[in-house]
Chain A
Amino acid sequence: MDYKSGVCNFCGTGCGNYLKITDGRITGVYSSRNHPVSKGRLCVRGWHLHEWLMTDQRIDAPMIRVDGSLKKVSYEEAVNFMMDRMSVYKGKENKEIGFLASPRSSNENNYLFMKLARGVFKTNNITLDSESGHKASLNVLSEGTGFAGMTGSLEDIAKTDFILIVGSDLTKMNPIIGSEIHKAQMSGTKVVTICSRSSQIAKLSNVHLQIKPGSKKVILGALAKAAISSGAADSDYISKFTEGVETFKNSVNSLEPADIEALTGVQYSVISEIAEELSKSSSAMAFWSTGIAGLDQDTVSYIYDLFLVAGKIGKEFCGVNPIAGIANLQGGYDMGAAPDILTGFQKINSDAASKFEKAWNTTLNKEAGRDIYDLLADKNSGLKALVVADHDEGIVRYEKEIEALDFVVYFGAYDNPFIKHADVVFPVAALVEDNGTYTNTERRVQLSQKRIEPFENAMPGWKLFPMIAAKASQNWNYGSAEDVFKEITSLTPEYAGLTYAKLIDSMGIQWPCNDKNPAGCRRLDAEKAGRKFKFAPVSGNYKTPSATAEYPFLLIRGQGEHFWHQNNIMKKSYIPKREYNATLLVFPEGYVEICKEDAKALQVREHWGVKIVSGSGAMKVSVKISDDVKPGTAYVPYFIREMITEFLLEHKSDIGRGEDAIIPVRIERV
């Protein structure tokens, strides 16, 4: 049979697929009917996975930079060159070295990458690329419940009674999750979306709360306040399963109905009604996107606390569910690719570190490291060398800073803009050229099996990383990716019960998988958690950005379906690339969506050029007139490089706020 089952490598939904393999080459993709998550569906990206995997735009040999240009060498020479040059940064606790990991790499490769950073280079400066919100969500969930992942399950969407979506358009970011929610809605689930724009998922919801930009925290706080003050809140649940409700109550009680209405633009009576429905529903789930356009930790804390008030965490068909935008974003954190954690969210400054020291037969630096993007942004950080894997996103923000580094190492399968900054480049075997596990947004660990031979003999990670470690006199002994996985499971309690054999026989297993849950775990269970759920601290800061006479529009941003993380990957496909180009052809400089009334007031028509001016910068874009935004709101989809580099970059502090990065602007006719 030409069709071999596999896992999609785009977003964090983890849809099942089949790749068609003819004569050792990939020649097609097909959807998987029996897969528990995707049930026969794929999105436009997933239906064209084969186009990307077929590409010949690959790294075909190790390369080192000699006299300014890259020269092909053997793996041996490249490793020697890297270790020679990196040796100068030793002995300074390696604050000068940083590692930028990939949320598309397998768990095995991310684990080894993390082990290389911590075990060999003694640095904890390691960050997952393309990311701003997932870690924040995991921090909230881990602190509050001890469960560093989505507390519910995608399979249960169909069975839940009430769904609250906060922010981004799931039909574009994670279309199959959007689909599952849509189908639940059609069969009776009440779906409420909070979003400043009439996105597709908003159109498919029962209720769309089209709030004023930047007022998410207000409306979430208001929902909690309404639930508490009407008595709809689940007080039995709160006293039995939670702690710290009083502090949260105080911070939402300061919200007055009149202020709420003024800040959000939504009537308090509507909010009250929804709060009651949420609390009285038999089960409920919350969804929000993480990743580049995700929510900040404070907003996530409000969602989490609201669901505690409503008694909807740790019960059947319930869940607070951060949705990962990239295939192995969840897995990347499970593997400890962050400054402060080891695998399974074990803190680097805890006893767990000694377990790793023993297993790795080395000593570790136990002080949490720093985020790579912080280091790049901070001119005095002293970062000198950067080791990067399969890069997608961040480079566009820090191109100058990366250029100024002393030494850059790049690991990857595909041609990538990072290569022009790299001093050493290592080809790595791509998806389906080696075995590897990937953990989707609902904690489902899936095995993607080796189906073809690596391109031009590219090395798999389990061979390549040990070669580097060996140069530092560390003996890492693996005969396969499975050996790496065995080491992961021995050090990670949530993964303890997983084996390749179990994964081959299943369509993924949701962690925690251990002695207590040998078949994995569909959801967090309040009855069995062995602890109370803690209310997350919230800021109580309900300040919303406001338009002024000088800057009368509030600019919000979102993501296009065909533009996916700087498009390094999408550009290697055909149909999605064409779709992206179709938008680009019409809007070569990007576009700003404004409503009819605003267009009329500005005296502009569709496609006309305008200048968007903020307190810190300006950009030229075209106008797109749309019913999807309200007067006073301007929406820009994030798909033009220039837009990001020349405009949004001037708002670095705002970008950090993820989706709530609202920028007051004025729009000028050109």
Chain B
Amino acid sequence: MYLIEKNNVMKLAEELAKSYDLYGPVIDNETKQVFFNKVESASEISLTAEIPALPPKTVVFPQIERITQYKYDKVGKKAEIAMTYDDRSKAIFGIRPCDLTGIIVLDRFFLGQEFVDDVYKEHRKRMFIVSNTCVVPFKQCFCVCTDSGPAADEGYDLNLTEIGDMYLVETGSEKGKAFAEKMGLKPAGDEYIALKKKVIDKSISLFEKVATDNKAWISRIMNRVTTGFIKDEVWKHIGNQCFECGACSFVCPTCSCFNIEDHNRFDGSTDRLREWDSCSFEGYTKMAGDHNPRHPVEDRRNKRFFCKLSYSQSKKYLRPGCVGCGRCQWVCPGDIGLPNVVTYIRREITE
């Protein structure tokens, strides 16, 4: 544990910018919307900005990215193939605990199973992560229901917690420790353990008053989702409200589904692209010969909630697939963001 004065905290980011591409929460000047984006200078980053509209998963899993490039020479019958992975070193500065949890879940999906995804690994392996404790929750937050905040437990190199006019800097890795030492940070005394706990307790106590948009008592419905003891009418009620836009998956910090497409370039070469996909789309599960294991829209919807909320799926992620960021709720044209679905299911249980 170390300490740094509030007005010096961005020096950490400035230092990181020297050896990494730096990413962080940025407020758009024109519209005030917050993005998680690459910055030219550390001064663009805001540590007090609300949870970015765009999940930081874009850094490790972009909306659309080229993973291979090829050109076929028809005359010589020769193909030139180049794997073009993004291997720049990246530092993400000021990621919120929910979003960091999202990256941990993505790690378990892309790296922790039978197959290791090389594209993802290249994004991830030289990464430096600085997380930022939420000393106050935002309107849409419900991370206390999903065990992913308001403070990060793991996955960071450095974790910042604002305490008075100081930031407490915790190290979560050797790399983080070395960086803190290099920066000559002042060690923090043991009293900061209690001080930090006080800050977090205060943040949790503020949820009832501040984080009023969403509540999701996930533990109350996991059993139901896993065993399938949910009435068809509930899924239908949810399915009727699905506009099949895919937004819930796109904005979700843990959604990892992707599609591969070949983009023919004007110069005759081809870019092989990987892009975000969603299990809410009919074409996603469609097989040849019109077999579709999940044909009706409510089936596709309940697949997504099964992925986020069932025990079997959570065993793979070592936690629920929802991190309580609330983004799906504000992009949903229906009224079936995950917290609402939890409520619909719970209401049926309590009746």
Contacts and interface: CB of A to CB of B under 8 A. Distances in A.
A183 interface: yes
Given A30-B54, A561-B244, A575-B281, A1 B333 contact: no
Contacts of B64: 27-28, 50-51, 54
A182 B333 contact: yes
Interface residues of B, number: 45
Given A28-B62, A179-B333, A204-B240, A5 B31 contact: yes
Interface stretch (A377-385, A417-425, A519-527, A577-585): A577-585
A40 B53 CA distance: 9
Contact of A581 (B26, B247, B263, B283): B283
Nearest to A586: B290
Contacts of A56: 263-266
B53 A41 contact: no
Contacts of A171: 243, 333
Contacts of B62: 27-28
Nearest to B330: A40
Given A5-B30, A27-B64, A582 B332 contact: no
A20 B244 CA distance: 23
B245 A42 contact: yes
A30 B53 contact: yes
Contact of B275 (A43, A504, A575, A583): A575
B28 A582 contact: no
Interface string A86-106: 000000000000000000000
Interface string B24-40: 00101011110101100
Interface string A1-28: 1110100000000000010100000011
Given A58-B266, A607-B290, A32 B31 contact: yes
Contacts of B288: 585
Contacts of B33: 3, 18, 32-34
B197 interface: no
Given A3-B35, A182-B333, A578 B244 contact: no
A44 interface: yes
Contact of A20 (B63, B273, B290): B63
Interface in A51-99: 51, 54-56, 58, 60
A587 to B, nearest CB: 9
B277 interface: yes
A652 interface: no
Contacts of A578: 259, 281, 283
B246 interface: yes
Interface string B323-351: 00000001111110000000000000000
A46 B283 CA distance: 17
Nearest to A581: B283
A39 B333 CA distance: 10
A179 to B, nearest CB: 3
Contact of A43 (B30, B240, B290, B333): B333
B277 to A, nearest CB: 7
A43 B38 contact: no
B28 A1 contact: yes
Nearest to B280: A44
A47 interface: yes
Contacts of B281: 44, 575, 578-579
A46 B246 CA distance: 10
A613 to B, nearest CB: 26
B282 interface: yes
Categorize the interface residue count of chain A: 35 or more
* Among B247, B281, B283, B288: residue with most chain A CB under 10 A: B283
B271 to A, nearest CB: 9
Contacts of A575: 246, 259, 275, 277, 281, 283
Interface string A561-591: 1000000000000110011011101100000
B37 A582 contact: no
Interface in B96-132: none
B87 interface: no
A31 B248 CA distance: 12
B286 interface: yes
A43 B245 contact: yes
Contacts of A5: 28, 30-31
Contacts of A27: 62-64
B241 interface: yes
A200 interface: yes
Interface string A485-519: 00000000000000000001001000000000000
A579 B283 contact: yes
Given A2-B38, A42-B245, A178-B333, A582 B282 contact: yes
B261 interface: yes
Interface in B229-265: 240-241, 243-247, 250, 259, 261, 263-265
Nearest to A28: B63
Contacts of A182: 241, 333-335
A582 B283 contact: yes
A176 interface: yes
A504 B63 CA distance: 27
B284 to A, nearest CB: 8
Contacts of B245: 41-44, 46-47, 175
A502 to B, nearest CB: 14
B237 to A, nearest CB: 10
B240 A203 contact: yes
B26 A1 contact: yes
A200 B259 CA distance: 27
Nearest to A578: B283
Interface in A136-177: 171, 175-176
Contacts of B282: 579, 582-583
A529 interface: no
A17 B266 CA distance: 27
B335 A183 contact: yes
A186 interface: yes
A504 B29 CA distance: 12
Interface in B3-55: 26, 28, 30-33, 35, 37-38, 44, 53-54
Nearest to A573: B261
Contacts of A179: 243, 333-334
Given A27-B63, A41-B247, A578-B283, A33 B53 contact: yes
A176 B243 CA distance: 9
A118 to B, nearest CB: 36
Interface in A255-294: none
Contacts of B277: 575
Contacts of A561: 244
Contacts of A507: 31
A242 to B, nearest CB: 36
A175 B333 contact: yes
Interface string B47-84: 00000011000100011100000000000000000000
A484 B121 CA distance: 50
Given A28-B64, A203-B240, A47 B246 contact: yes
B333 A176 contact: yes
A32 B247 CA distance: 12
A579 B62 CA distance: 21
A15 B259 CA distance: 25
Nearest to A172: B243
Given A40-B330, A44-B244, 19 more contacts: A1-B28, A2-B35, A5-B31, A18-B33, A30-B53, A31-B53, A33-B53, A42-B245, A43-B245, A55-B263, A175-B333, A178-B243, A178-B333, A179-B243, A456-B266, A578-B281, A578-B283, A579-B281, A585-B286
Query: Can you list the 9 inter-chain pairs with the closest CB atoms, starting with the nearest?
Result: A179-B333, A582-B283, A28-B63, A56-B266, A578-B283, A586-B290, A574-B261, A579-B283, A582-B286
10 contacts: A28-B64, A29-B63, A40-B53, A41-B333, A47-B247, A54-B64, A504-B30, A579-B281, A582-B282, A607-B290
Interface of B: 26, 28, 30-33, 35, 37-38, 44, 53-54, 58, 62-64, 240-241, 243-247, 250, 259, 261, 263-266, 273, 275, 277, 281-283, 286, 288, 290, 330-335
